[in-house]
Chains A and B, each alone.
Chain A
């Protein structure tokens, strides 16, 4: 792609020091996003998706004993190295964020219109009156009926879906160039989820904003994202376009995730296929394939060396020794195994 990337993450590592030892939550993650791109990040709970998102903006709690390395270039500057002032400007300004639970990220004691207006004054330098009327506009923009009245209400008087809309209006208030949405619909009903996903998609198209969407649901990614990356134990194990991944998932972990959930279009087709075992609680940081203890295809080498990321198709990368060996042999660098029907 000839377009300059909007976001360029290189060899990102995040390690927490905990009472029971270090947790390598993010273990050498690299990826880029073009302006206006849409990227889904999928993986089991604890695979490092949220920490990756938080690390991009250095959003850690004061109590976190955390070490971050690598670089996060956004719009020319390395966000891991800019000063706090600049970073505050980026947060909620050029990069917006939405979290799973809107209640924890909205101020419960402040009318929602005021919260949005405050952000507009801070990031877009608007005056009081202008910010207030723009806040109402934004609420209307995300589909909230009767926005003038709703702007004066507290978050607690909104339903879950409406609160998430408020969060979105807050996140897009400053016309961010990148919106990071961490499980934005996990707590919502499917009908509300459908509306929020459509809204995110429309905003991305109309505002030209890039979208990074974190979820455990491939269906959600399919509805909103062109590209997808699969995360396991702090590493990106597979990257592909969403359409490519449907029929050409390469990494055994991705295959496992796809087979794990019943597909809606299937009637009962026997038992499900859970991935045996659990993700390592200490994250990455090992010297083998982190998935090896759970992988049905593991062989000697998987337990000895970390598999490199190899191309298995156009703009399709997989970090698996099976794929690497095939690529070297020059045989079809396709899927290592077929999905059982």
Chain B
């Protein structure tokens, strides 16, 4: 794990601000990204002014309800959807301004792992061809060095050499996802973007794949953006987390802070909703229901002011009138920030503390 000074994921106010000069630059810097889509029913803003930073060896977990914009953000970072605004810098280079050919050259430094292992692999290619493909596309190395890189990647993800010549359909779901990961790391990327990499897998396979990612990160010093809806998995893998709601990041901080001292009512609701195998499970869900009211509003008609106000038990007139700006939680390491007018008045709901050593503290 990197013990370098971590560049925090600062929330953006929506107006692009100059980067802070101090501190080492992140390997990935996403600044004020906005992505809009035209749908039959009108224009929607899927990602609305998101900024985040990743340092080498660091994992940022991205959580939020289905449809909140996680995958769209990931695709914007990968330059797979056009951005209306904002920038994505990879190792200091602004990907958005690069000419096509230059962009292709940079691509091998940032790679992606997808949810559906089977659907993301070409069914007619052998395992070793699939894994070596990015090297050929990017024109990296010669035949021998490519074969060596493929063998190394396979070993790193725990694929036996015996499966090299098999087709994806001849592999188990877990092996297919290992192929997807091997293909992503074969180009020796600096950043790995994982979009729900274990959601489609059975529980026992999930654990294996999580371990593979965990080991890779340590071994290769990868910066990882990890998207998952399973908060336990996110907590397990992430150094920091960002909580997304209707296209915006509403709270971010170190995983331990956000998960044990969530400040934003939505984060509190999310965390309380996780069913845990303990005796308080049912009562906790009752609490969760009071923190997340009703249904997710449509992106076609997002609420004015604070986007969470239609579901927030603390909402008042100010919440409807003005959008809460990002604020840092003072007493902490400076990484923890959120968007809520009333967070100082809302008690910390220690979402993830073992009841035995309760460190609940008043805000």
Please give the residue numbers on chain A whose beta carbons come within 8 Å of chain B beta carbons, in ascending order.
44-46, 145, 159-162, 189-195, 197-198, 201, 216-224, 243, 246, 257-258, 260-268, 271-275, 278
B276 contacts which chain A residues (CB < 8 A)?
219, 222, 263-265
A72 to chain B, nearest CB (A): 27
A-B CB proximity, top 10 nearest: A219-B275, A262-B236, A274-B207, A222-B281, A218-B277, A194-B273, A45-B202, A264-B232, A223-B281, A272-B207
Which residue of chain B has the shortest Cβ distance to A46 in the bound complex? B202
Which residue of chain A has the shortest Cβ distance to B254 in the bound complex? A267
B222 to chain A, nearest CB (A): 16
A265 contacts which chain B residues (CB < 8 A)?
276, 352-354
- Interface segment, one of B87-95, B286-294, B328-336: B286-294
Q: Could you say which interface size class chain B belongs to?
A: 35 or more
How many interface contacts (CB-CB < 8 Å) are there between A and B?
Answer: 132
Q: In the complex where A191-B273, A197-B285 touch, is A268 in contact with B202 (Cβ < 8 A)?
A: no
B214 contacts which chain A residues (CB < 8 A)?
271
A192 contacts which chain B residues (CB < 8 A)?
65
**Hey, what's the 0/1 contact readout for B199-220 against A, CB within 8 Å counting as 1?**
0001111111011001100000
Please give the residue numbers on chain B whose beta carbons come within 8 Å of chain A beta carbons, in ascending order.
65-66, 172, 202-208, 210-211, 214-215, 229, 231-233, 235-237, 255-256, 259, 269-279, 281-282, 284-286, 288-289, 292, 294-296, 352-354
Q: In the complex where A220-B275, A222-B278 touch, is A264 in contact with B229 (Cβ < 8 A)?
A: no
The listed residue (A191, A201, A262, A268) touching B270 by CB distance below 8 A is: A191
A162 contacts which chain B residues (CB < 8 A)?
295
The listed residue (B203, B215, B278) touching A257 by CB distance below 8 A is: B203
CA A198 to CA B207, docked complex, whole Å: 28
A44:B274 contact, CB within 8 angstroms: no
B277:A266 contact, CB within 8 angstroms: no
Which residue of chain A has the shortest Cβ distance to B282 in the bound complex? A223
B66:A189 contact, CB within 8 angstroms: yes
The listed residue (A193, A201, A274) touching B208 by CB distance below 8 A is: A274
Which residue of chain A has the shortest Cβ distance to B279 in the bound complex? A243
B202 contacts which chain A residues (CB < 8 A)?
44-46, 216
A267:B285 contact, CB within 8 angstroms: no
A268 contacts which chain B residues (CB < 8 A)?
235-237
Please name 26 pairs of A and B residues whose Cβ atoms are closer than 8 Å in the assembled complex, sorted by A: A45-B203, A46-B202, A160-B66, A190-B275, A191-B65, A191-B292, A193-B273, A194-B292, A216-B202, A218-B277, A219-B281, A222-B278, A224-B282, A257-B203, A260-B207, A261-B203, A261-B206, A262-B232, A264-B231, A264-B232, A264-B271, A264-B274, A267-B236, A271-B215, A274-B205, A278-B172
